[in-house]
Chain A
Amino acid sequence: MVESSRALVGKLKGDKTMRTIEAVQITEAIAKLAVDANYYLTSDVFDALVSGQEKEESPLGKDILGQIIKNACIARDEERPICQDTGMSVIFMEIGQDVHIIGGNLEDAVNAGVAKGYTEGYLRKSIVGEPMFDRVNTKNNTPAMLHVSIVPGDKIKIVFAPKGGGSENMSTLKMFKPSDGVEAVKKFVLDTITAAGSNPCPPIVIGIGVGGTMEKAAFLSKKALARPLTVRNSHPDYAALEQELLVLVNNSGIGPQGLGGRVTALAVNIEYYPTHIACMPVAININCHATRHAEIEL
C-alpha cells in the first residue's frame, strides 16, 4: 500500500498540471486561522458595530455596544479570544482539482490544525465526542465541521469560521410550500429572531439559506454567515429582501443583548440554490456579534 502510493506520488509529480501541497502546510494554516479568527474581529463586523452604536437610540444599548467594541479592541491588543466560546471549528475548504495533497490525509491534517490552534492559542475546547449519552469532551476541540468543495485551479482556499453554541442553538429550518411565498418566509425569520431574543448575544448576524434540499439550505445558511456584512446578494430580489428583513428585525425592539433598542442585527445575508418543483426549504442560522472568520489561500 505504502509502496504503491509512493509510486503514484512520483507519477503525479511528473505531471506538470498537478501542484503538490503537503498535508502539514494545511495543518499549520488551520492552526493559525483558528487563533486569528478568535482573537481578531474582522473589519466588516467591527465597522458595523461602530455604526450600530451611532444609530442606537437606547442609552443602555449604546453603552452595551460601546463595551462590545471595547472588548474587540482588548481581544486584538492583548491577543486573547473575543469570546470564551471559541466555538466549533467550521471550515470551508475549496480545493483546486489540480492540487495533490501529499504526506497525510486531508481530514487528519485539518483536525491536527484545529487541535494545535486551540491548544497553543489558549482557546476553549468545547466539543463532546458523542452528543447524547456520555458527552465527554474531546479535549482538543476536534473534530472540525469540514465542508469541502472541489473547484477548478491549483490552489486551496480555507475559510475558518468558529461558531458559538449560544447562537447556533437558536437556528431553525422549515420546509415551506412554494405557495407560502415570501411573506411566510419573512414571518418565519421574525418569529425565529423573536424566539431567540437575547440568547444569541445580539446584535446578531442572520444567515439564511433558501432552496436546494433540507441539508443544502442549512449549509447555505451557514455559508451566508461567512460573507462580508457589507456585500449584498448579487440577485436584486434577494438583495432587497436582505435589506427589508434587516429593517423588520431592527424594528423588533430586541436591541443589544435583548435589553431593548434599535440595533438587533448587523446584517442579513441570504444565499439561494435551485430547488425541486415541490419545495422551498428555508434555513436560518443565527450568529452573534462575535461573528468570526479568517481565511487564507495556499
Chain B
Amino acid sequence: MSEPIRITLPLTEEKARSLQAGDSVLISGVIYTGRDAAHKRMVEGLDRGETLPTDLTDQIIYYVGPAPAKPGQPIGSAGPTTSGRMDAYAPKIIEQGLRGMIGKGYRSAEVVEAMKKHGAVYFVAIGGAAALIAKSIKSYEVLAYEDLGSEAHARLIVEDFPAIVAIDSEGRNFYEVGQQQYKR
C-alpha cells in the first residue's frame, strides 16, 4: 500500500484530474452531506429555477446519515451510505460544479459520464467503519432541510478523513480493476 495522498479542500479541477482510481487519500477541510431525500429536494429546487442551498463549486458531498451524537461528541457514527440511490440526481449536481462525492458502492454510467465531462471524482469510504470515520469529523452543522433529521444537508469539518478513489475523472473504475485481479 502506497502512502495516502493528502487533499485539502476546496478541490480544484486540476487537483481532481490528478487523482487516479485506486489512490488512497486523506481529506481535510469542509465537506457537505446529503442523502437521497436531500438530493431530491436540491434537484427539485434546481428544476424550479432556484439555486442550491449551498454553493458546491469545487466541493465534496459525503453521502451520510449519521447516528445522533452523544453529549460531548461532534457527531455520532458516520459511515457512507449506498451511492447508487443518488445516481438519479448526481449528474445535475455535478453540473453545478460539485467536484467530488464520497459514498460506497457502484455508480451508473450517467454519473460517470458527468464526472468525465466536468472533472469530478468518486471516492469511497469504508462502509460500516462508521465509528472510525467519525473520529476524523470535527464538527457538524445543519444547513438545510432540518426536518429530514439525520438526512439533513449539513456542513462537516474533517481532518484526515480516509477514503479511496473508486472512479477517477477519466472514468477509470477501481472496482473493476481490483476485482479482475483477484477473480479465479
Contact = CB atoms under 8 A, between A and B. Distances in A.
Nearest to A57: B182
Interface stretch (A142-150, A196-204, A218-226, A233-241): A196-204
Interface residues of A, number: 51
Interface string B75-106: 01111011010000000000000000000111
A198 B104 contact: yes
A257 B127 contact: yes
Nearest to B177: A260
B162 interface: yes
A289 interface: yes
Interface in B10-65: 22, 24, 37, 64-65
B145 interface: no
A261 interface: yes
B166 interface: yes
A166 B104 contact: yes
B7 interface: no
A275 B86 CA distance: 40
B175 A258 contact: yes
B76 A259 contact: no
A201 B105 CA distance: 8
A233 B10 CA distance: 53
B112 interface: no
Nearest to A59: B1
A84 B76 contact: yes
Nearest to B162: A67
A288 B128 contact: yes
Interface of B: 1, 22, 24, 37, 64-70, 73, 76-79, 81-82, 84, 104-106, 124, 126-135, 149-150, 162, 164, 166, 174-175, 177-184
7 contacts: A67-B132, A166-B127, A197-B105, A198-B127, A253-B183, A258-B179, A260-B182
